[in-house]
Chain A
Amino acid sequence: MSEVKFSKEHEWITLEGDVATIGITKHATEMLGDIVFAELPEKGSNVEKDGTAGVVESTKAASDVYTPVSGEVVDTNQSIVDDPAKINEDPEGTSWFFKLKIKDTSELDTLMNKEEYDKFAKETSS
């Protein structure tokens, strides 16, 4: 599996072959608070880099989930729809959101590595 990359919209992405797994970061869940609702893109649909590809709602507010790369949705994680609290428990592991068959691996080049993201998250949240 490839190195984990991060977007400015607080998504993480890993790549295995041409299939990317995408979720939201721990930092994002900490900012959102208790997540009580998740909506995922439909399997088989196509999503565009930086476009919306889902929604999460906390007790406080609704937030869009964006996709950091373009592709076709090949799988979604129904377990977080059934029990959204799981997203707070393990956001960067078992609580991934969706998998994409990606078109253009060069879209990953613009994303941040862990060190860059941690710095970005710290700067933007203070």
Chain B
Amino acid sequence: MEIKKTSLNKLHQSNNAKFVEFAGYEMPIQYSKGIIEEHKFTRSNSGIFDVSHMGQLFIYGDESLTEELEKIFPLDLKNLKQNCSKYSFLMNEDAGIYDDLIITKIEEGYLIILNAACKDKDFEVLSNLLGSKFKMNLDNNRSLIAIQGPKSVEILNSIINGVDQLNFMTGNWFDSDNQKLFVTRSGYTGEDGFEISISNDKAEKFVENLIEKGAQLIGLGARDTLRLEAGLCLYGHELDINKTPVEANLRWAISKSRLSNGGFIGSKKIMNQMQDGASQIRVGIKPEGRLIAREKTKIFNVSDKQIGEITSGTFGPSVNGPIAMGYVDKEFSKVDTKILLEVRGKKHPANVCALPFYKKNYVKGVN
């Protein structure tokens, strides 16, 4: 299959991007300054991320759509205000995760942001569940641009006036350059920031404008170190069809009001696990010293019994040391538990630690 390109591909090229294939797309892993510089720039200034490979699924409908979606997602959608977003999951009957996603209630229905590698499957699953009652559009004509970091609000507001009035996890339509943009105050870096849904033909000029105002393009490499420092899950690593939200330590994302009566796909398993606990759970892990424990590194207890596996591990530029996440047996999931990581045949000491590794700076209560 031919590799897909986003509408910013030429701009990435002219900014000396190194490309990798990601979920069938040619995506920039880094630009000339490198992952660490890009990471630090995002934390101190403003980074631009091309996330156009992600799915933008519009589902159109009224209250009856809300009712149908409540049978699917563990969310209190009836009480979700228009233009408010929630982090959630698409699950199977065993509460295995097809995808993690952000769902926003919009005037016309719902907008769901899906992972690139999962979006086609998600569309199929949702189409089967919803039938033909509601119009669904996995919109390939729109790009998705994230701008993240403390200077982002000032930069974006100078182009799209009014975005500074958005609270974290809310969004709205804005007019700019004779077109409608959907902007949410959200992101996946642990920084304040925005995601902008924009038509493909306007995306390049829009990003050039952001660069002119002082923001810089950031690749997927830094996106990964940023999200890992923020303790955020990445589908295909922390999350997959064999993991449940309870095991992934994401019970905060399940609406409390939905737990008493269930009625969403996977609710039985979720309710059982909430009561009895899951046998394995996702934790933060800090190796001692500088050693990096990558994905699939085996985790042992101090008596050499295997108790789990790393799902993501890298060097955290803002933490200035190695960081990881992984799954361990429940009895070893407490913060400060001593564990051992087997790297290149040797076992190295590490500690279970609290997440995130890097404290968030989300904006709440602007208005």
Contacts and interface: CB of A to CB of B under 8 A. Distances in A.
Interface of A: 33-34, 36-37, 55, 57-62, 81, 84-85
B36 interface: yes
A27 B35 CA distance: 17
A59 B291 contact: no
Given A36-B290, A37-B292, A84-B290, 4 more contacts: A34-B34, A37-B315, A59-B225, A60-B35
The residue in A33, A36, A59, A60 that gathers the most chain B C-beta atoms within 10 A of its C-beta is A59
Given A33-B34, A34-B34, A34-B36, A59 B221 contact: yes
B314 interface: yes
Interface in B211-258: 221, 225
A24 B317 CA distance: 23
Q: Is the interface of B mostly helix, strand, loop or mixed?
A: mixed
7 contacts: A33-B221, A36-B315, A37-B290, A59-B225, A60-B29, A60-B35, A62-B294
A9 to B, nearest CB: 17
Contacts of A37: 290-292, 315, 322
B221 A60 contact: yes
Contacts, number: 39
B36 A57 contact: no
Contact of A33 (B35, B290, B291, B322): B35
A81 B291 CA distance: 10
Contacts of B314: 59
Nearest to A57: B292
B30 interface: yes
B202 to A, nearest CB: 32
B133 interface: no
Interface string B137-180: 00000000000000000000000000000000000000000000
A36 B315 CA distance: 7
A33 B30 contact: yes
Contacts of B34: 33-34
A62 B291 CA distance: 11
A55 B344 contact: yes
Contacts of B30: 33
Contacts of A59: 35-36, 221, 225, 314-315, 317
Contacts of A85: 36
A37 B293 CA distance: 11
A114 to B, nearest CB: 24
Contacts of A34: 34-37, 315
A36 B225 CA distance: 13
Contacts of B36: 34, 36, 59, 85
Contacts of A81: 290
A97 to B, nearest CB: 16
Contacts of B37: 34
Nearest to A52: B344
Contacts of A57: 292, 315
Contacts of B29: 60
A58 B35 CA distance: 9
* Smallest CB-CB A-B distances: 4 pairs: A36-B315, A59-B35, A34-B36, A34-B34
A85 B317 CA distance: 11
Contacts of B317: 59
A37 B317 CA distance: 12
B346 to A, nearest CB: 10
Contacts of B225: 59
Interface string B289-300: 011101000000
A36 B221 contact: no
A58 B292 CA distance: 10
